[in-house]
Amino acid sequence: MNLTATESTHLDLLTPRGPADSADPCQTLLALGEEAMAQRQYERAYDLFSSAARFDAGAHRFRREINRAVRALVPRWHFGMMNDAERNQAYAKAIQQVVGEDHLVLDIGTGAGLLSLLAARSGASRVVTCEAVDVVASTAREIVKQNGYADVVTVVSSLSTDLRVGVDLPRRADVLVTEIFDCALLGEFVVPALAHARRELLTPDAVILPRSGRLFAQFVESPELHSLNHVGEVDGFDFRPFASLTSLEYFSTTLSNYRHRPLTEPVEIFRFDFAQDIEPTTHHMDITPRESGSAHAVVMWFELDLAEGVTLSNSPSDTGSHWKQAIQTLPEPWRLEKDSPLGFRAAHDGQRVLVGPAHAVPHTRVR
């Protein structure tokens, strides 16, 4: 761990030097860790708490503190994701189809290392993988070693956009595997990560897995979904000013947990080819409602084409998927009439997606 000058001084002052000095360096590290937590410097807090534990023979004492930092650094969805058999099998099948001997594979977003291990098992001569969160990267390194692939898989603790050929990768990679997708595909910055990788880290004819993805939208009537993001009167009090704090963008939740009535068929709003640049786009689309009613929300989900014949989805009917659906509530319920075509807009800026009546969705960019 690298201590700041102030932290080292604190520690020097407090390190016991003889029987007369009862100061406890662990307490100092603990206090510095707390300070880092308060400043939301969770990686630093993790390092400080871990050092305190190393200092102390009864390391056990600091497990809870370390875990507080871990909880801030490592979202719970990692576990649901790793246990999502449908996702894992689809990636395993696609990787087996695409990765061969002599391939140098780049895996963006190591997590626990599953995709890298699958690539190594499929015969890749070398796998380089990067992970933005240090504690996740070091844990993945341990997992790779324990599974006997340390000579094939190198885990780099870094954002993919900081990787360099000749430093982190011996040469440009032949295959890119990645799973940095949220419930509406683009929310985890996959577009800039892929653009950078294609430009700086991959051979011109590299295989990208997944190769493409599609995003679907469906308007639903559901006061229950609307109430997750809107408020009016409560117990005789007017809470409408709180409307300024609602989310204008989608959030992730499980559609089937809320009573809802689909008013339209699902419609494909975007198609992404991950081998090409993905530019901000606005589509003007027409749809004919199959039911009359008030649309309170748009439900979105994706289909990812991992390789030939291997597709992965978080549609409302894919109940085994750890991904939930992307729900965007409409500011006001939108009246739809059965069999009366109406126009709507769908826009994305390479990260965020907005869908709704034309007046509610900016013309060209979400930004």
Site residues, ligand SAM (CB under 6 A): 81-82, 108-112, 114-115, 130-133, 136, 159-160, 179-180, 188, 193
The least CB distance from residue 164 to ligand SAM, in Å, is 13
Helix, strand, coil shares of the chain as percentages rounded to 5? 35, 30, 35
The least CB distance from residue 82 to ligand SAM, in Å, is 6
Q: Are the beta carbons of 308 and 97 closer than 8 angstroms?
A: yes
Q: What are phi and psi of 10, to 5 degrees?
A: -55, -45
Pick the closer one to ligand SAM by CB: 132 or 298.
Answer: 132
The least CB distance from residue 215 to ligand SAM, in Å, is 17
Pick the closer one to ligand SAM by CB: 116 or 329.
Answer: 116
With CA atoms as reference, report the closest residue to 298 among 326, 317, 318.
326
Pick the closer one to ligand SAM by CB: 275 or 360.
Answer: 275
With CA atoms as reference, report the closest residue to 261 among 228, 301, 233, 291.
291
Pick the closer one to ligand SAM by CB: 69 or 346.
Answer: 69
Residue with tokens 């201590």: 3
The least CB distance from residue 90 to ligand SAM, in Å, is 11
Residues paired with residue 213 on neighbouring β-strands, in sequence order: 272, 304
Pick the closer one to ligand SAM by CB: 195 or 248.
Answer: 195
In sequence order, the 6+-apart residues with CB closer than 8 A to the CB of 6 are none
The least CB distance from residue 39 to ligand SAM, in Å, is 21
Give CA–CA dist 205/72, Å, rounded: 39
Burial of 333 (C-beta count, 10 Å sphere; 0-12/13-18/19+): middle
**Dihedral sign of CA atoms 363, 324, 80, 117 in order:** negative
The least CB distance from residue 267 to ligand SAM, in Å, is 27
The least CB distance from residue 68 to ligand SAM, in Å, is 19
Pick the closer one to ligand SAM by CB: 185 or 225.
Answer: 185
